[in-house]
Amino acid sequence: MKKKSLIIATIIVIIDQVLKIVIDNILSINESIQVIPDIFYITKVYNTGAAWSMFEGSGVLLIIIAIVAFFLLLKYQNVFVEKKRNTLAFALIYGGLVGNLIDRVIYGYVIDYLHIYIFGLSFPVFNLADMAIVIGFLLVIIAIIKGEEHDSK
């Protein structure tokens, strides 16, 4: 299961990095492209923090946390039943972690670009890697609820 997760994760990292490079090259900082009026925009921002800019300016700490989380998750994946959903769950998390980790190491910030407005409220700008992490963790939670963890040896 781990090998498949890492292959899928690599694909996610490649797509994430290509999108970030394209966005970084076509937009200026804080510039937006309207995709769906009043709902969805591509807006380039640089995020030196974590989700919703928490821990702003804590780059080294966030790099360490991402690396530790990656290796803990590799070990934790072993306690899950081998299922396609669980393989995908961990692949999404690994891909998202590594995608944002690459940005932090190379640039000192993460390139975010997906900007959603719902009911007139502006949500924090995020990226594909962030989506992968959130969806991956939701799938892990579903697996836990369904009892797909077994005792690690």
* 153 located within any domain: no
| Per-residue pLDDT, 49 | 72
* 152 located within any domain: no
Structure tokens at 145: 């609820």
* 38 located within any domain: yes
The catalytically annotated residue of 16, 24, 38, 130 is 130
| Per-residue pLDDT, 145 | 93
The catalytically annotated residue of 16, 24, 103, 112 is 112
pLDDT digits (tens, 9 = 90+) for 113-136: 999 999 889 999 999 999 999 999
* 17 located within any domain: yes
Residue 112 annotated in active site = yes
Alpha-carbon distance 43 to 4, whole Å? 33
CA atoms within 13 A on the CB side of 141: 6
73 has a pLDDT exceeding 70: yes
Average pLDDT of the residues in 74-90: 91
The domain in which residue 37 lies consists of 2-145
Region of poorest pLDDT, from 1-10, 45-54, 85-94, 124-133: 45-54
Q: CB atoms < 10 A from the CB of 7, how many?
A: 11
CA torsion through residues 83, 7, 16, 105, sign: positive
* 150 located within any domain: no
Specify whether the CB–CB gap between 106 and 76 falls below 8 A.
no
Domain count for the chain: 1
* 39 located within any domain: yes
Residue 24 annotated in active site = no
* 16 located within any domain: yes
Residues in Cβ contact with 64 at an 8 Å cutoff, skipping those fewer than 6 apart: none
CA 109 to chain centre: 14
